[in-house]
Structure 1
Amino acid sequence: MSHAEFDTFRRLDVGTARPLLAHFHGGGLITGTALDSQMIPLWLLQFAESRGAIVASPCLRLLPEALGSEILDDIKDFWGFVFTTLNSIVAQTYGISVDLGRVAAGGGRHCAFDLDSFAFSPRPLYVPEAASASISEYLSNIKPGTFRVSSPSPEYRGLFQAAFNTGRYRDLLRGDRHMRIREALRKAKDVPPIWIAQGVNDRITSQEAASELVQEIRAAHPDTPLLYSLQPSGHGFDVSHGMTEAWVQEGLRFTEQHW
C-alpha cells in the first residue's frame, strides 16, 4: 500500500478515544483517489463530525496495471496499518487516540464484480469498436512493474466507461481468480453487519447485481445483520445527500447499533 490519507473531526464534548470510519473511494478500482470530494458522501462527513470520528481513506493500486490480488494485498496492508500504526500517528499529531473497538468501513460508487456470475457485471450498453480497441491497446501497453495509486476524477474516466460500456471490465481483471465474491463469502468465517445502499436506476452497478449480492450474503451468512436500502436514483446518488435524509437516518441507526 502506498499511503493512507486521513482527517479528524473534533468536538469538545467527545472524549479522546475516537471511533474510526475507513472510507474506500469509488471509481470501479480503475480511477479515483483518497478524500476526493466527488467520492465521499456528504452524509458520511456529517456523521463523522457529529461523532468526533476519524476518517481514514487509503490509496490503493488501481486496475488494470495492478491485479485484483494486489489490490486485496493493499487492503490487507491498510488494515495492518490501522491496527498497528495509526494510533501512534494520531497521538503524536492530534493528541488523541483511535478506539479500535469501534471501526466501520465503507465505500461508494464501486463496480460489482465476480468472475463466476455475469449478473455481477453491468450489461454492455453498447459495443463500439473504437472503445473495445482502446481497451486492448491499453492492456498491451502496460509495462511490467508499473502501477497507479491515485487518478483524481476525471482521469481515466474514458477507460472506466469503455470497460463498462463494452462489457470488458473482466478483461481488466485479467482473469484474477481472487476476485470471486462467492468464493470469498464461502471462505469467510464471519461477515460484519452490512448496509448496502443502491440506486434503482443505476446503469453502472445495477440493482440486479446488488440484489443478487444481497441474496448471496444472506445465503452464505444468514446471521449477518444486513440493511438493503433501495432508492429511486442513479449511480453515485448518495454523494450529495446529507444526514437529514430519511433513508440515511435509517442506515445510520443501523450502523450505530453495531459500531
Structure 2
Amino acid sequence: MTDITRTTAATRFSSFDIHRTFYKRIGSFDISVAVLIPKHIKPGRHSVHVKWHGGGLISGDALLQDWFSNYLVSFTHRTSSIIVLPNYRFVPEHSGADILEDIQDFWTWVDRDLASFVRNAASGVEIDLDQLLVSGDSSGGWHALHSVFELPEGRVKALLLLYPMVKKWCKSKDLLREWGRPAPDEEVIDRHLAQVPEGSVASSDRFLEREELADAFSANEHRWDLAFGTDKRLHPIEILRERTIFPPALILHGDADKSVKLEDCKDFVREIGEVFGPAARKDVHLVVREGEEHGFEIELAEKDVPWLAEELQWLEKVWLL
C-alpha cells in the first residue's frame, strides 16, 4: 500500500492517477494541464485544488515532483480533492501580459471543460467548483493571486501561498555573490534568445535547464523589465485595492529566504489589513519560520510537524466550510 504520509520525489504522485491534456493551443504548441485524481476515489462531488508551480516565471513544470510538497499528498487524500496543475508560458520568450492571458484562458477552460474531462477520466466523479482552493509556490503564488483577481469575487474559497512573489525583486550582482549565488552577465540572456526559433512557445522546463537564465534575469534588472514588462498591474500588491474582498489565506515563508523577500510578503499582508479591514487580515495566516530558506517545507510530513498540521486544519475548514 502506498505511503501517503511520507513520500519522496520519486513516489510523490504514486497515489494518484495522472491525466494530461491542454487548455490552450498557440499555433502548433499546446499549453498543458495535468489533473491528479486520488486512486480509489469514491463517486460523487469533490472539491478542487488548483496549484500553480514556481520557477521565477522562467523555468519549472507543473508535474515536477521535487517542487510538490510532501504534505500535500496526505492533505489531498484527507480532503478527497482533485488537483489541477497548469503550465504557462515563460519569460523571456513571452511577457508578463502573455502569462496573464494564460491565467485567463486556463480559468475559461476550467469553467468550460474541466467537469467533462474529470467525468471521462473517472466514472461517477464530479467536481465541485464552489469549493475551490488555489495555491502556488514562489512565482506560482503570483499566479494564484492573479487568479483571485481574474475570477469573480468570492469564487476562490481559500489560498495556500508558499513564499509567494507579490512584487519584483531583482538582486544586484554584488549581493548575489555575497550570498554565494550565481550572478551571470546579461550575455546569458542574449545567447538564449539568439537560439530561440521564431514563433516558438516555452512553457515547460522539467529538467531545470533554464536555471542559469533565471539567475541572469535576477542579476540584470533592466533585462527583466524589458522582457516581463513594467506595468504596475503585473504585481499583485499593486492591484489589491481593485477588489472589495480577499479570501482566507495560509502563507508560509522562511526568514532566511533569498529568492523571495519576506518583507515584500509582510508588506502584502499589511496591505490586506489596510484595504479589507481587520476581519480579512485575521483570516490571513502568515507563518514565518526562523532560519528557513526557500522551499523549506517541501519534505515536511503533516503528522510530524504540529504547527503545520494545525494550520492545514484551519485551511481545510475555511476552504470546505
Shorter-normalised TM-score: what interval? Answer: 0.7 to 0.9
Aligned pairs (5 A) from 1:33-48: 33-48=61-76
Q: Deviations over 1:63-112 (max 9, x none)?
A: 12111121111112222222221111111110101111111010113262
1:117 maps to what in 2?
none
Query: What CA distance in whole angstroms lies between the structure 2 residues aligned with 1:48 and 1:199?
Result: 24
Query: What CA distance in whole angstroms lies between the structure 2 residues aligned with 1:29 and 1:129?
Result: 18
- More displaced, 122-131 or 230-239? 122-131
1:216 corresponds to which of 271, 274, 291: 271
Query: What CA distance in whole angstroms lies between the structure 2 residues aligned with 1:99 and 1:10?
Result: 18
Aligned pairs (5 A) from 1:17-32: 17-32=45-60
Query: What CA distance in whole angstroms lies between the structure 2 residues aligned with 1:22 and 1:139?
Result: 31
Q: Does 1:241 align with 2:289?
A: no
- More displaced, 74-83 or 130-139? 130-139
Report how many aligned residue pairs link the two structures: 253
Residue segments in structure 2 that go unaligned for 5+ positions in a row: 1-23, 25-30, 140-163
Query: What CA distance in whole angstroms lies between the structure 2 residues aligned with 1:174 and 1:143?
Result: 22
Instruction: Specify the SS of the correspondent of 1:38.
Output: helix
Instruction: Specify the SS of the correspondent of 1:197.
Output: strand
Identity %: 24
1:51 maps to what in 2?
79
2:248 maps to what in 1?
193
Q: Does 1:229 align with 2:229?
A: no
Query: What CA distance in whole angstroms lies between the structure 1 residues aligned with 2:115 and 2:80?
Result: 15
Q: Deviations over 1:131-151 (max 9, x none)?
A: 233235545766663321111
Residue segments in structure 1 that go unaligned for 5+ positions in a row: 115-119
Instruction: Specify the SS of the correspondent of 1:101.
Output: strand
- Native 8 Å contact 2:34 2:62 kept in 1: yes
- Given the superposition, is the C-alpha separation of residues 170 and 235 from structure 1 closer, same or farther in structure 2, using an over 3 Å criterion? farther
The two structures have a TM-score, normalised by structure 1, of: 0.87
State the Cα distance separating 1:197 from its structure 2 match.
Answer: 0.5
Query: What CA distance in whole angstroms lies between the structure 2 residues aligned with 1:242 and 1:83?
Result: 33
Q: Does 1:85 align with 2:113?
A: yes
The two structures have a TM-score, normalised by structure 2, of: 0.71
1:158 maps to what in 2?
212
Instruction: Specify the SS of the correspondent of 2:58.
Output: coil
Aligned pairs (5 A) from 1:95-114: 95=123, 96-110=125-139, 112-114=165-167
Q: Does 1:5 align with 2:39?
A: no
Please give the root-mean-square deviation of Cα atoms over the aligned residues, in Å.
2.4
- Given the superposition, is the C-alpha separation of residues 153 and 141 from structure 1 closer, same or farther in structure 2, using an over 3 Å criterion? closer
- More displaced, 165-174 or 34-43? 165-174
* Amino acid in the other structure paired with 1:50: R
Instruction: Specify the SS of the correspondent of 2:61.
Output: coil
Query: What CA distance in whole angstroms lies between the structure 1 residues aligned with 2:226 and 2:297?
Result: 29
Q: Which fold has the larger relative contact order, with Cα–Cα distance below 8 Å and residues 6 or more apart in sequence?
A: 1
Query: What CA distance in whole angstroms lies between the structure 2 residues aligned with 1:129 and 1:35?
Result: 28
Query: What CA distance in whole angstroms lies between the structure 2 residues aligned with 1:136 and 1:247?
Result: 45
- More displaced, 128-137 or 63-72? 128-137
- Given the superposition, is the C-alpha separation of residues 247 and 164 from structure 1 closer, same or farther in structure 2, using an over 3 Å criterion? farther
1:175 maps to what in 2?
230
2:145 maps to what in 1?
none
